[in-house]
């Protein structure tokens, strides 16, 4: 009895193995097993319907499931299947069926092909399920690798130091050292970042830094005044490279200012003209800020400035002091940019000559004057800052007086001489 049971199990096992062999379908990827990202590639698959028991079981259905990140190119499907078939594509599933005659006959090999595009590099599995007329299914996983061919992207360069952040190309910086932070992204991983800093003499510094993430930082110190060119090469793990470059200038010297005005002492209301130019060691053009015609409307002591700031933030200021004289103090000499003083300026609070009564009338003789400032109401004396000058009529009167005095002197001399002559004549007689 036991022997019969053992024999029965043996027969069942043989039949089961035969059934598996009978429905064995060999699915093979012909080409390619490796594709590049973002490129449409033709996938060619062979389907071998092998039945070692000699039965006539045909493959009636083929289901091909594409992995995530794969896109099927509509209209690219092809096959050498000789019987009619139904072809459908839904989402990521490609289905070829003929439930009556089958699509792959027993002991025959057929091929199917189509185009796909993969966007993310890594290894994937394409799943192929074949089934025969008895609904027995066979599943095969075809591995395909998508290569990374894209260089690192979205590379940003941030430089910090002093008070400047994120310099634009050809920026002027005024500090000795700079920290450069590089941020980059990649489909796989960033491997290294190579920094090469050039100046007018050649390579100033070259440093290769392994990347542990998306950010890499380097510090360049002891930078002298010069024009620099920084080249940054970001390399991913598949040797795809992104090259970024930026130009900048280290400028630590303030502009040189030449500032002048045509006069530093002038009457109220007179025009004063100033000019200013600026030059810089590292910058071709620097525009100074100044006032061409400073204020001269009111008397007083003033200053005017010229300021020049270069693109690196270095600044220089030059100052000129000037005096505005009240018009009541007379006129000043002109034609010179140096300070001048006005002539005929009255001093000691400008008290007028002579004695003035309480009514404000003047007694005695006094030269013509103009009194300014405060007058005491009860004192009758004019007190303030005064300034006088001899007019043309005054000079005329002075000349007349001198002429009269000379004439009187001449007459007196002639009379004295005549008396002397008369005396001599009487004595001689």
Residue 410 CA to residue 55 CA, distance in Å, equals: 170
Q: For 21-42, give one letter per residue: b (16+ CB within 10 A) or e.
A: ebbebebebeeeeebebeeebe
As beta bridge partners, residue 125 has 143
Residue 162 CA to residue 312 CA, distance in Å, equals: 10
Q: Where in the chain is the domain with CATH 2.60.40.2260?
A: 22-147
Q: What is the pLDDT of residue 217?
A: 85
Closest of 339, 326, 324, 335 to residue 266, by C-alpha: 324
Q: What angle do CA 421, 426, 428 make, to 5 degrees?
A: 95
166: CB partners within 8 A, 6+ apart: 157, 158, 159
Share of the chain above pLDDT 70, in %: 72
Residue 316 CA to residue 169 CA, distance in Å, equals: 25
List, for residues 67-110, the tens digit of each pLDDT value: 999 999 999 999 999 899 999 998 899 999 998 888 998 888 99
Of 2.60.120.260, 2.60.40.2260, 1.10.760.10, 3.90.1150.10, the CATH number of 22-147 is 2.60.40.2260
Could you confirm whether domain 153-250 is CATH 2.30.42.10? no
Tell the residue number behind the tokens 């910086």, with chain if given.
Answer: 173
Mean pLDDT lowest among 19-33, 41-55, 360-374, 400-414: 360-374
Q: What is the pLDDT of residue 15?
A: 41
Check pLDDT > 50 for residue 122.
yes
Tell the residue number behind the tokens 């309480």, with chain if given.
Answer: 358
The pair phi, psi for residue 336, each rounded to 5°, is: -140, 145
Check pLDDT > 90 for residue 55.
no
Q: Where in the chain is the domain with CATH 2.60.40.1930?
A: 153-250
Q: Where in the chain is the domain with CATH 2.60.40.1080?
A: 256-329
Average pLDDT (283-302) is 94
pTM of the model: 0.56
3-state secondary structure of 5: helix
List, for residues 170-200, the tens digit of each pLDDT value: 677 777 777 788 889 998 889 999 999 999 9
3-state secondary structure 293-305: CCCCCCCEEEEEE
Q: What is the pLDDT of residue 303?
A: 97
Q: What is the CATH number of domain 256-329?
A: 2.60.40.1080
- Residue 419: pLDDT band by 50, 70, 90 thresholds? low
Q: What is the pLDDT of residue 276?
A: 97
List, for residues 352-376, the tens digit of each pLDDT value: 333 333 333 333 333 333 333 333 3
Residue 47 CA to residue 190 CA, distance in Å, equals: 40
């Amino acid at each position: 009895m036991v022997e019969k049971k053992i024999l029965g199990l043996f027969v069942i096992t043989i039949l089961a193995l035969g059934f598996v062999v009978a429905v064995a379908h060999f699915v093979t990827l012909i080409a390619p097993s490796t594709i590049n990202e973002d490129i449409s590639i033709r996938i060619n698959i062979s389907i071998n319907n092998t039945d070692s028991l000699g039965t006539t079981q045909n493959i009636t259905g083929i289901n091909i499931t594409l992995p995530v990140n794969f896109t099927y190119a509509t209209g690219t499907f092809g096959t050498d299947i000789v019987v009619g078939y139904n072809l459908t594509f839904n989402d990521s599933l490609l289905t070829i069926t003929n439930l009556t005659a089958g699509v792959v006959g027993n002991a025959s090999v057929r091929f199917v092909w189509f185009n796909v595009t993969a966007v993310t590099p890594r290894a994937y599995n394409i799943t192929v399920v074949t089934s025969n007329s008895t609904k027995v299914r066979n599943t095969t996983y075809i591995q395909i690798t998508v290569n990374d061919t894209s260089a690192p992207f979205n590379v940003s360069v941030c430089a910090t130091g002093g008070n400047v952040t994120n310099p634009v190309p050809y920026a002027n910086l005024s500090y000795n050292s700079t920290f450069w932070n590089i941020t980059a992204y990649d489909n796989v991983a960033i491997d290294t970042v190579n920094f090469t800093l050039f100046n007018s003499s050649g390579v100033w510094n070259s440093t290769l830094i392994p990347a542990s993430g998306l950010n890499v930082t380097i510090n360049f110190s002891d930078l002298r005044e010069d024009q620099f060119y920084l080249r940054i090469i970001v390399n991913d793990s598949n040797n795809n490279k992104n090259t970024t470059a930026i130009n900048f200038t280290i400028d630590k010297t303030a502009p040189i200012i030449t500032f002048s005005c045509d006069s530093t002492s002038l009457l109220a209301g007179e025009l004063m003209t100033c000019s200013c130019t600026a030059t810089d060691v590292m910058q071709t053009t620097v525009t100074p800020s100044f006032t061409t015609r400073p204020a001269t409307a009111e008397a007083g002591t003033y200053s005017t400035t010229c300021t020049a700031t270069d693109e690196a933030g270095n600044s220089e200021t030059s100052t000129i002091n000037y005096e505005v004289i009240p018009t009541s103090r007379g006129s000043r000499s002109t034609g010179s940019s140096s300070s001048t003083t006005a002539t005929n300026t009255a001093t000691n609070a400008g008290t007028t000559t002579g004695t003035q009564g309480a009514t404000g009338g003047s007694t005695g003789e006094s030269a013509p004057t103009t009194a300014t400032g405060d007058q005491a109401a009860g004192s009758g004396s004019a007190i303030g800052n005064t300034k006088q000058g001899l007019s043309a009529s005054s000079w005329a009167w002075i000349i007349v007086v001198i002429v009269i005095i000379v004439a009187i002197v001449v007459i007196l001399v002639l009379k004295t001489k005549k008396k002397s002559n008369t005396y001599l004549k009487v004595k001689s007689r």
